[in-house]
Structure 1
Amino acid sequence: MLTRRIAVTAAIVVATAFAAPVSSSAEDDPKGGGGIECGLYNCQVEVEVPGQAGGQEGGSGGSPGGGAGGSYENPDGTLDKVCTYTLADPQPPADSLDREGHRPGDGAVYEKSCSVAPDGEEDLWVAEMVWLAEPPGQEAVAPAVLAQRAVDSMTLLGPDININPRPGGTGLVGMPVWMAVDKAPTTWGPNTASASAGGVTVTATAKVAKVMWAMGDGSSVTCTGPGTVYRKSYGLKASPDCGHVYTRPSADTSGGTYTVTATSTWVINWQGGGASGQLTEIRTSSVAVAIVESQAVNS
């Protein structure tokens, strides 16, 4: 038989707040079908579930509150119970049954919440109050999970586009276009963040590895660096590291401009908890540029 404790309705909990604590067990039930136990802060019903032997609260140790991670043994031998503990705040009064006879200052009372799905069905296990002599250990979290948490805490933006001709201006067919991105921790890197859980800390560092420029005329350019920002002193030279030349005016496109889209690939290297790895994130920015025939400018 598997014994489960199930939280009862709020009406019973409220009632116990105005009545003396009561306790009943399977021994008081001539049918031996379980019992009810009420503390000042909660009521629990013990129910014997037929046909499910071998289930143990808290895994192989069988003791509730033995740690932050418990397990439930299914009939097929698999374990799939996960429990978490939250310190009760405020702590129950000294005479609360939740203290299990222990005085204030001797250990503490925690809310234990377990989620179990035996046989692939939704389980009825819910939160209960338990007394623990020592704070429960934290559940282990995979370093890769912490790495993603660190990345999620970062601000990684699309490229801060610096292009010549500038948006709002006009460029010429056949003349060099200079593409560049302004470097900042949020748009180029390095960008560093850490995440911790269960005594493990993972640190991740993100940097842009490349920027792919879709020029709006069907062509694309991939630049592995930030590019060179154009200056008037460069004259009609082509960009040394990230440039393009339009061969058709933008007048025939929707809106009369080319939409230039810059897509940055962030590469994030992480390490911690005895492991290391790499993640990638994609970010995009766009601007519009107008390209005209040279004679149209001279007319």
Structure 2
Amino acid sequence: MSARRSAAAAVLALFLLGVPAEFAVADGPGGGVNCPPTKLDCPITAEDDKPPTDGKPGKPGGGGDGGGGGKATCAIDGKEVPCSTDMGRFNPADACYWQVLDPQPGPDDPVWGYATGVPDGWKPGDPGKLYNVSCPGIGRELAGGTTFSAAGPAGGGVDVQALAQRAVENLRLEGADIGVAPKPSGVGVVGMPVWIWNKPGPTRTGPATASATAGSVTVTATAKVRNVTYTMGDGETVVCTGPGTPYKAEYGKRRSPDCGHRYSTPSSSVDGGRYKVTATTTWDVEWAGAGQTGTITTTRDAGTSVEIREVQVLN
């Protein structure tokens, strides 16, 4: 074991035994740094230290994909069926598929004489269109046919899944607003606890709700965070199912109860001398509208960085 590793082990042993010990970051890039035993982040005091160029937390909402495809759910007598087929779009009001006639028949077309639902006195130019209605299922075929509707079927021909994607965009979901101890402006030490948390807010930790409307159809989406995966820059990942616990000075060198990490090597071993920390928030978004429901999964990224050094015992 190297002298530095032995010194670090000695400091850890003193900490675990509850014996006060002063320690300092070992010489190297940035010079010596005093760090009292009650703090997790050590302010840089050496004159030859250079301020970090990438140490500020990443802005929430950076990166991330646009979301996985949401699978709509439609059903006839409790059995799931496609929400859209070559017969048209599913109408939950009558459990039939509606497809608008395109082009619409001319005013003298005989179809107006046998289409169902055409109101007395209706004339071309008045609101309403003709639809081909198909009702799959034994004994239900007679429920279909050419049908007039002034407002259209439930959904009005709107692509409900596309409207759900709009509702997700209206949520304005963000990546984590990362809190970390040691702070990016300070220095941590090998083997000591690192605390991580996501600062609360509806668009960062959820739940968040938003809607999108097209015609008479409104889709409402509700988003909840499934987890946040932190890539710590040393080849390790930490998955946190909650926002994490913000660090307070009175916690001393205790470990985070729910979202933390320990580095086993100094960050001088990586390019730039700092560990880059990336937080990927996975959101589950449930949506509903026009008798349809579905779930969309989307992610958002954010980042920060930390400097970790080895320590040496001071006599």
- TM-score interval for Structure 1 and Structure 2 normalised by the shorter chain: 0.5 to 0.7
Secondary structure of 1:59 counterpart = coil
1:146, distance to aligned residue in structure 2 (A): 1.4
Q: Which has the larger radius of gyration?
A: 1
Where does residue 171 of structure 2 map in the other structure?
154
The structure 1 residue matched to 2:256, chosen from 239, 264, 272, is: 239
Match of 2:186 in 1: 169
Hey, what's the Cα distance between the residues in 1 that align with 2:200 and 2:290?
31
**2:100 matches 1:62:** no
- Mapping 1:95-134, distance limit 5 Å: none
Aligned residue in 1 for 2:216: 199
Which structure carries more relative contact order (alpha carbon 8 Å, separation 6+)?
2
Cα deviation code 1:196-241 (max 9, x no counterpart): 2242211001121100000000000101000111111111111110
Residue 183 (structure 1) aligned with residue 238 (structure 2): no
- Aligned residue type for 1:240: P
1:250 alignment partner in structure 2:
267
Relative to 1, partners in 2 of residues 1:175 and 1:277: Cα closer, same or farther, differing over 3 Å? same
Q: Quick one: distance in 2 between partners of 1:278 and 1:153?
A: 16
Letter in 1 for 2:269: D
Alpha-carbon deviation of 1:276? 1.0
**1:171-207 Cα deviation digits (max 9, x unpaired):** 0100000010001112121221111224221100112
Looking at structure 2, the residues matched to 298 and 255 of structure 1 have their Cα atoms a distance apart, in angstroms, of 27
Instruction: Report the residue type matching 1:166 in the other structure.
Output: K
Structure 1, unmatched stretches of 5+, are 1-56, 67-101, 109-133
Matched with 1:52 is none
Q: CA deviation at 1:141?
A: 1.4
> For the Cα contact (< 8 Å) 1:140–1:197, is it kept in 2?
no
What residue in structure 2 maps to residue 276 of structure 1?
293
Counterpart CA distance in 1 for 2:314 and 2:203 is 42
Q: Which runs of 4+ in 1 moved over 4 A?
A: 134-139
Q: 1:298: Cα distance to partner?
A: 5.1
Q: TM-score, normalised by structure 2?
A: 0.52
Instruction: Provide the alpha-carbon RMSD of the alignment.
Output: 3.0
Shift of 1:277: 1.1
Task: Give, in whole Å, the separation in 2 of the partners of 1:200 and 1:287.
Answer: 41
**Equivalent position SS for 2:254:** coil
The change in CA–CA distance for 1:277 and 1:135 in structure 2 (over 3 A counts) is closer
Contact conserved, 2:223 with 2:285, CA < 8 A, in 1? yes
Distance (Å, rounded) in 2 between the aligned partners of 1:294 and 1:170: 11
SS at match of 1:186: helix
Counterpart amino acid of residue 245 in structure 2: T
Identity %: 49
- Shift, 1:59, TM fit: 3.5
Gaps of 5+ in 2: 1-99, 110-122, 127-148
Residues 140 and 198 in structure 1, CA contact (< 8 A), matched pair in contact too? no
* Residue number among 236, 241, 246 corresponding to 1:229 in the alignment: 246
Asked if the contact 2:228–2:280 (Cα under 8 Å) also holds between the matched residues in 1, the reply is: yes
Deviation track 1:101-147 (CA, whole Å, cap 9, x = no partner) reads x9xxx968xxxxxxxxxxxxxxxxxxxxxxxxx98869511322211
SS across alignment from 2:250: helix
| SS of equivalent to 2:267 | coil
Residues of 1 paired with 2:104 and 2:232: CA distance?
63
TM-score when normalising by structure 1: 0.54
Kindly tell me: are residues 135 and 271 of structure 1, through their superposed partners in 2, closer, same or farther at Cα, counting changes over 3 Å? closer
Give the match's secondary structure for 2:168: helix
How many residue pairs get aligned? The number is 179
CA contact (8 A) 2:156 2:217 kept: no
| 1:113 aligned residue | none
